Homo-oligomer: A and B are copies of this chain.
Amino acid sequence: MKPYAQLTPAERKEEYARLQTEFDAWKAKGLSLNMARGKPGKQQLDLVSDIFGLMQAPRDYVSDGIDVRNYGEMCGLPAARRLFADILGCKPEQVFVGGNSSLQLMYDTIAKAYTHGLLHSPRPWCKEETVKWLCPAPGYDRHFKVTETFGFQLVTIPMTDGGPDMDAVEEAVKDPAVKGIWCVPKYSNPEGAIYSQETIRRLAALTPAAPDFLIMWDNAYCVHEFEGDYVPFPDILSICAEAGHPDMVFEFASTSKITLPGAGVACFACSEANMAHMEKLLTPQVISFDKVNQQRHVLYLRDKAHTLELMRKHAAIMGPKFRGVVDTLDREIAPLGIASWRRPKGGYFVSFNAMPGTARRTLALCKEAGVTMTSAGATFPYGKDPQDSNIRIAPSLPPVEELEQAMTVFCVCVKLAALEKLGV
């Protein structure tokens, strides 16, 4: 097949008719396939369910002399703090280990800034006239929603291959109303980009007008390679400290995609001064998080090296799915010159840029044929993609056979929408 742009109107009509027949055939099958969210598949859940067999012997209930079954240790079990410090490359005393959700810890950090203020806030953010927030896009819809729900003005920052466009960021932070930025530094959601050393250095060196500017460093995919070797990644806390801004960053991570999405353990990491501030604010809120589950994870994951071994088993499940997705795109779409995508080596998504103006239509067609995807626009602030182009593909949940079907349907829809745009 030639690139679509080179087709004559008659050829386009013919191709469209052929695809429509194919589409109708898929529709008739009454499929119900889901590539909407970065949910691990059943095979991955089964892989780690031996974690439930732990905590059987009375000695397992005790960690560093602490009975993990009782109240106490608000900042997390010391052994769990050591485990995450090992994984993230920071110090145990910089780590707060919470419940099952890093999203909730992120929400809570922003909420605390809103209700009480951060360490260097002149006042709680609810007392500010306007709060603006930098959103590298395409990005993670749930990040954007957190800042949207507190009424912040979301400012789109373009993404590059090496992370957020730092010229745009450096310019934006001159505005004292700009209070922070969302970052997914390794295997960014959805693009799978790894922030370059240069980007990281410039982020740490920022001198924002707001004294309480906050880098929300969501290291969600810190050990989540599905292709090739583990890629070492620098500790943002020490880089910010070296740049003279130790309190400018909160880092987040979880085991949601290491052990279990519903029942993992999440943490945040920050400077000791920020930790003291957060401890003070968290004391009225919570006696302690689930230390039994923290202990279960300490026993199960042990340390970074052992965690990386487990991640290779996940990779053996995830790798073929991602290769299937990208290979299908390479085969079906590449020759047509109507879209672009990346071939990520980790994370949970493939970011797909359809012909501008066709993302919504593509996904409406997918839905009609029983394939659910993240809604168009979701990767942009306020759910509005100015190009109507970016689509986030999440290949992790469906089994390989279903994924192949779903991708075939997706490619048909991408083509139909492109032809409609070109005119048929």
A binding-site residues for B, Cβ under 8 Å: 37, 39-40, 42, 45-46, 49, 52-53, 55-56, 58, 61, 67-72, 99-101, 103-104, 107-108, 111, 114-116, 124, 126-127, 142, 145-146, 148-150, 256, 260-263, 281, 283-293
Known contacts A262-B68, A290-B262; decide if A285 and B49 are in contact (CB<8 Å).
Answer: no
Checking B39, B148, B150 against A71 with a beta-carbon cut-off of 8 angstroms, the contacting residue is B39
- Since A52-B56, A99-B290, A263-B290 are in contact, a sample of 9 more A-B pairs with Cβ atoms closer than 8 Å, ordered by chain A residue number, is A39-B70, A69-B260, A100-B289, A101-B287, A101-B288, A103-B286, A107-B284, A116-B149, A142-B284
Cβ contacts under 8 Å, A291 to chain B:
262-263
Q: Is the CB of A69 within 8 A of B263?
A: yes
Q: How far is the CB of A370 from chain B (nearest CB, A)?
A: 19
Q: Is B45 touching A146 in the complex (CB atoms < 8 A)? A: no
Q: Look across to chain B and name the residue whose beta carbon is closest to the beta carbon of A54.
A: B52
| A262 in contact with B71 given A45-B61, A284-B146, A290-B290 (CB within 8 Å) | yes
Residues of B within 8 Å of A39, CB to CB, are: 70-71
A285 contact set on B, CB distance < 8 A: 103-104, 107-108, 146
Instruction: For A100, give its contact among B99, B124, B261 (CB under 8 Å).
Output: B99
A263 touches B42 (CB 8 A): no
The docked-state distance in angstroms from the alpha carbon of A127 to that of B39 is: 38
- State the number of copies, please: 2
Chain B positions within 8 Å of A104 at CB level: 285-286
Nearest CB in chain B: distance from A268 CB, A: 15
CB contacts (< 8 Å) of A72 on chain B: these are 262
Q: Is there contact, CB below 8 Å, between A115 and B290?
A: no
For the complex formed, measure the closest distance between the CB of A210 and the CB atoms of chain B, giving whole angstroms.
Answer: 20
A262 touches which one: B101, B126, B263, B292 (CB < 8 A)?
A: B292
Q: Which B residue sits closest to A98, measured CB to CB?
A: B99
Contacts of A126 in B (CB 8 A): 114-115, 124, 126-127
- Chain B residues, CB < 8 A from A114: 115, 126
> In the complex, which residue of chain B has the Cβ closest to the Cβ of A281?
B149
Please indicate which of the listed interface residues A52, A107, A293 has the most CB atoms of chain B within 10 Å of its own CB.
A52
Bound-state CA distance A69–B290 (Å) is 16
Interfacial chain B residues near A292, Cβ < 8 Å: 52, 260, 262-263
Task: Tell me how far the C-beta of A150 lies from the nearest C-beta in chain B, rounded to whole angstroms.
Answer: 7
12 A-B pairs with C-beta separation under 8 A: A49-B61, A69-B261, A70-B261, A99-B100, A101-B288, A107-B285, A107-B286, A115-B115, A115-B126, A142-B287, A145-B283, A260-B292
Are the C-beta atoms of B290 and A70 separated by less than 8 Å? no
- Known contacts: A126-B115, A262-B292, A293-B290. The answer to whether A37 contacts B71 by CB under 8 A is yes
Q: Measured between alpha carbons, how far is A262 from B288 in the docked complex, in Å?
A: 7
| Candidate in A116, A260, A263, A291 with the most chain B CB atoms within 10 angstroms | A263
Closest B residue to A149 by CB, please name it: B284
The answer on a CB contact under 8 Å between B37 and A49 is no
A68 CB → nearest B CB, Å: 6
Residue of B with least CB distance to A283: B145
In the docked arrangement, what's the CA distance between A42 and B69, Å?
Answer: 9
Inter-chain contacts of A261 with B (CB < 8 A):
69-71, 287
* Complex partner residue of A287 from B103, B150, B287, CB under 8 angstroms: B103
Supposing A55-B52, A114-B115, A284-B145 touch, asked if A70 and B103 sit within 8 A by C-beta, the answer is no
A292 to B54 alpha-carbon distance, docked (Å): 14
Q: Which 10 A-B pairs have the closest CB atoms?
A: A263-B292, A52-B55, A145-B284, A126-B126, A107-B285, A149-B284, A100-B290, A45-B69, A71-B261, A262-B291
How distant is the Cα of A45 from the Cα of B145 in the complex, in angstroms? Answer: 40
